[in-house]
Amino acid sequence: MTVKVYSTPTCPWCHKAKEFLTAHKVKFTDFDVSKDREAAQEMVKFSGQMGVPALNINGKLVVGFDEGRIKDLLKID
Positive or negative, the CA dihedral 59, 65, 68, 71 is positive
pLDDT at 69: 97
CATH tag, 3-65: 3.40.30.10
Q: Which sequence spans correspond to the domains of the chain?
A: 3-65
Quick: pLDDT tens for 45-69: 999 999 999 999 999 999 999 999 9
For 61, residues 6+ apart whose C-beta sits below 8 A from its C-beta are 46, 47, 54, 55
Do residues 18 and 28 touch, judged by C-beta distance below 8 A?
Answer: yes
Q: What is the mean pLDDT of residues 28-35?
A: 98
| Confidence band for 1, pLDDT divided at 50, 70 and 90 | confident
